[in-house]
Every structure is written in C-alpha cells, then in structure tokens.
C-alpha cells in the first residue's frame, strides 16, 4: 500500500465532530443559531462541512443544542453535501459545555468509540485547504513515534485586539502600540483525538457539575500534563475565527478567496 492509499484509509477511519450547539452570546442578538450565520451568502456550517469534505472526510457528527431544529432541518442527513451526518442533541442540563456534550454523545453511542475523531467548530475558518490532511499525517506521526493521544493545532502568533504599552517605574509610557501581533502559541480549536480519549472524557467530565465543562479546561490540560498532547503549529493568517459581528465582517473580506 502506497502512502496516498494509506492516507485515504486513515481519512475513512476518522469521524468529524462538529460542535454546533453554542448560544453564540458574543455575537449579540441574532435570530439564527450561529452555525447558520452567513458569510457572503454562505452559512458557516456549509463552509465547515464542505471544507472537510474537500479533503475526503465523509462521516460527520453534529453536536447540537441551541435552536437545534433549525440546524437539523437545514443540514439534514448530509446528502446535500455528499456526506453522512448524524446528530447528538445536548443533554437537558442548565450548564452543558463541550465536555458534557461530547460525553453525552459517547455514552449514547452516536460517537463510534473505535474510531478517532477530528474535532472542529463551524465558527473557525481555515484558509489552508490541505490543513485537515496535514493535521492527520502529523497526528499519526505523533501516535507512532511519541505515543500521543491527541493533537491540537496552534497558530504561531495572534493579532492582539487591544493597545499595549511599556511603562517605567515612574508610570511614564515609554512605548505604545495599537493591536500588535503577539508571538504566543494560540489554539485554533481544531483537534484530532484517539479513541482512548473517549475513556478520559467519561472519567473526567462530571455531568452533575453545576458549571459547564469544556474540553479546553479539562481534557486537553490533562493530556498535556501526561505528555500525550501533540502540537501542529501553523501561520496565524490561515485561521479566521468568527466570534463577533466584527469578526463576521472581517471574514466576509477574506473568505471569497477560499476555494472549496
């Protein structure tokens, strides 16, 4: 088997988990669920599914909650994209979060416990059309050589949204720079997890907890502590997060150049 055939086989063995159940509070008052917000007439969920479909991924699981009926009616079974889509509806709790949502999807059997998962969010847009394949190749290398259980994609820097200053002991501002580029590794919210991580989620996520639980504040820190989390570092300009209306407007100027 050559390397291309091997990669195709690994793609077929990977399910794509799309967390699409958030309230989108930072967007302000919106009538639609966030995944159905449009960029130049194209809903975020379309951009997301078509992006991974273009790399050969065909099995999708949408974890839905807020206004889920609108999302499920729009996406359907995935046939309109040429893929298969299943749904996991968030449990009826006051505080959920992505950790509880994933645990619920695992325990109800929607997630195939024998298959690795590529985890993503519809409000994260990537301009490198081959990134999912690069990530999978890098992840498999980490599994083989390092024994890792998950891989996270980081950008090498981030555009800091505020002005920063350098101040001396007399409170004299020595320098001021508006919205600088900060060279700090920043998670993009794109991950690959091995099936062993499902056991970690089941053990560590407390469904009875009063607060919401996310992967980013429970599972990933634990994997990092165990030295089981691998990193793929990419240029900052390939990641377009859409968290606010301003982000949506910015994305509208960039995404037309993205070919799917």
Mean pLDDT across 149-161? 95
Task: Give the CATH number of the domain where residue 33 resides.
Answer: 3.90.550.10
Strands (E), 97-254: 116-120, 124-126, 150-155, 158-159, 163-167, 173-178, 181-182, 186-193, 229-234, 239-241
198-211 residue pLDDT tens: 999 999 999 989 89
pLDDT at 31 (0 to 100)? 79
Long-range contacts of 169-172 (CB under 8 A, 24+ apart): none
Q: How confident is the model at residue 28 (pLDDT cuts 50, 70, 90)?
A: low
Residue 19, sorted as left (phi over 0), alpha (psi -120 to 50) or beta, turns out to be: beta
* Contact call for residues 186 and 158 (beta carbons, < 8 A): yes
- Checking if the pLDDT of 256 tops 90, the result is no
Mean pLDDT across 27-55? 89
pLDDT at 94 (0 to 100)? 78
Across 89-126, b (16+ Cβ under 10 Å) vs e yields bbeebeebbbbbbbbbbbbeebbbeeebbbbbbbbbbb
- Specify the DSSP element, H or E, that contains 48: helix 44-53
Q: How confident is the model at residue 235 (pLDDT cuts 50, 70, 90)?
A: very high
* Contact call for residues 173 and 47 (beta carbons, < 8 A): no
pLDDT at 241 (0 to 100)? 94
Q: How confident is the model at residue 21 (pLDDT cuts 50, 70, 90)?
A: confident
Instruction: Report residue 106 CA to chain centroid gap.
Output: 17
pLDDT at 27 (0 to 100)? 62
Q: How confident is the model at residue 74 (pLDDT cuts 50, 70, 90)?
A: very high
Between the CA of residue 128 and those of 14, 109, 118, what are the distances in Å?
19, 32, 16
**Sign of the CA dihedral with 34 first, then 39, 40, and 45 last:** negative
Beta-bridged to residue 91, according to DSSP, are none
Distance CA 171, CA 167 (A): 6
- Checking if the pLDDT of 179 tops 70, the result is yes
pLDDT at 29 (0 to 100)? 60
- Checking if the pLDDT of 24 tops 80, the result is no
Question: How many domains in the chain?
Answer: 1
Query: What is the share, in percent, of the chain residues with pLDDT greater than 90?
Result: 79
Residue with token string 């302000």: 28
Q: How confident is the model at residue 260 (pLDDT cuts 50, 70, 90)?
A: very low
82-139 residue pLDDT tens: 999 999 999 887 788 999 999 999 999 999 999 999 999 999 999 999 999 999 999 9
Question: What is the residue range of 58's domain?
Answer: 3-257
């Amino acid at each position: 088997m050559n390397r291309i055939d091997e990669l195709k086989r690994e793609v077929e063995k990977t399910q794509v988990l799309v967390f699409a159940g958030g309230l989108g509070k930072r967007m302000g008052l919106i009538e639609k669920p966030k995944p159905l917000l449009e960029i130049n007439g194209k809903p975020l969920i379309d951009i997301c599914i078509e992006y991974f479909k273009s790399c050969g991924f065909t099995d999708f699981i949408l974890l839905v909650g807020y206004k889920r009926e609108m999302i499920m009616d729009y996406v359907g079974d995935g046939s309109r994209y040429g893929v298969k889509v299943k749904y996991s509806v968030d449990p009826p709790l006051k505080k959920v979060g992505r950790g509880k949502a994933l645990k619920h999807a695992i325990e109800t059997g929607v997630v195939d416990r024998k298959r690795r998962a590529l985890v993503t969010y519809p409000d994260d847009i990537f301009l490198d059309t081959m990134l999912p394949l690069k990530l999978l190749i890098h992840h498999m290398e980490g599994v083989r050589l390092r024994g890792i259980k998950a891989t996270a994609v980081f950008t090498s820097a981030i555009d800091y949204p505020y002005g920063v200053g350098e101040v001396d002991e007399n409170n004299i501002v020595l320098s001021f720079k508006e919205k600088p580029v900060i060279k700090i590794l920043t998670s993009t919210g794109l991950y690959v997890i091995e099936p062993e991580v499902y056991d970690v989620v089941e053990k560590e996520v407390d469904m009875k907890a009063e607060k919401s639980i996310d992967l980013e504040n429970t599972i990933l820190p634990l994997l990092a502590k165990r030295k089981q989390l691998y990193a793929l570092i990419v240029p900052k300009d390939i990641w377009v997060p859409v968290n606010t209306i301003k982000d949506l407007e910015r994305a509208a100027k960039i995404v037309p150049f993205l070919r799917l």
